[in-house]
Amino acid sequence: MKTLILHHDDCLRHDPGRRHAEIPARITAVLNGVKELPRTEMLPAPRATIEQLQQAHAPEYWARLVELEPVQDPAEDRVALDPDTFLSAGSIDATLRGSGAACFAIDQVIAGKVRNAFCATRPPGHHAEAALAMGFCLLNHAAVAARHAQHAHAIERIAILDFDVHHGNGTQAIFENTPDVLYISSHQMPLYPGTGSSSETGCGNILNLPLAPGAGSVEFRNAWSTQGLPGLESFKPELVIISAGFDAHANDPLAQLELTDEDYGWITAEICNYANAECGGRVVSILEGGYDLEALTTASAAHVSALTD
């Protein structure tokens, strides 16, 4: 079976501004890295339904985002939700494709139609809380996907693994009182958004692996080998969702970790080894951060190559 890659050109329409780090060219860079890899299949990402969104987000929150979306030229008309997070014309369709891709990927993986899946969509999602947009994120695609797996497929135990350089505060906040969802995050600390201490454990389902600025392959692999992967194995999930951020790369301008393409291939292979042995290979990966375009191309290629292997 093949690795499914999901994308839609609507994801290019979200425009937070030319000086913003989260630009449409990010998707072009990712697709350049993965589009010709063997053992992959690319399909258009569908839009999420309102019912799917409301499993993770407050209805009034989504209604407010829709109300605020500008209708003019996105280059001329934007709404600032906070100093980093914007709505332009096209933002709603873009973020709907992100959550829709994640839910469709869940459907395909659980049905056994594909080996696993990677959602090449934007804007990212792991900072979005149930009723709060922040950190470039409007909808929390990983959370929507996890809730969809629970409600549509009766999956009881889900692990969300996050190696973005920033802590996924939104994912943690949505699930910190949900014992059947495990959240494990490696991230730089201190760094935005200021959460992610190892003392934050939720109801026993949160495992944070903070890394100091300047940490690289040795520290990253040690954290996952001694804590993250054993935590995954102990939890015994039926499905693994990856929040795949590539901004811990040494070339990324927004942080100070020193990961390499090989590190992304390594952690992906380790996750897939677990999934193949214990939960039928069920892995759905969702693009989060990553703001150096060349690093995005090579790191996403390493990630998807490991999914296909």
Q: List active site positions.
A: 127
Task: Give the max Cα distance, the chain.
Answer: 51
- Are 88 and 24 a contacting pair, CB within 8 Å? no
Q: Which residues pair with 99 in a beta bridge?
A: none
**Direct distance between the N- and C-terminal alpha carbons of the chain, in angstroms, rounded to an integer:** 11
User: Within a 10 A sphere around the Cβ of 109, how many other Cβ atoms?
Assistant: 27
Going by C-alpha positions, the residue among 6, 93, 27 that lies closest to residue 246 is 27
Nearest to 269, CA basis, from 308, 243, 218: 308
Give the residue among 309, 170, 196, 171 at the shortest CA–CA distance from 248. Answer: 196
Structure tokens at 36: 């010709």
List, in order, residues 6 or more apart from 139 with CB less than 8 Å away: 48, 53, 56, 57, 62, 95, 96, 98, 99, 125, 128
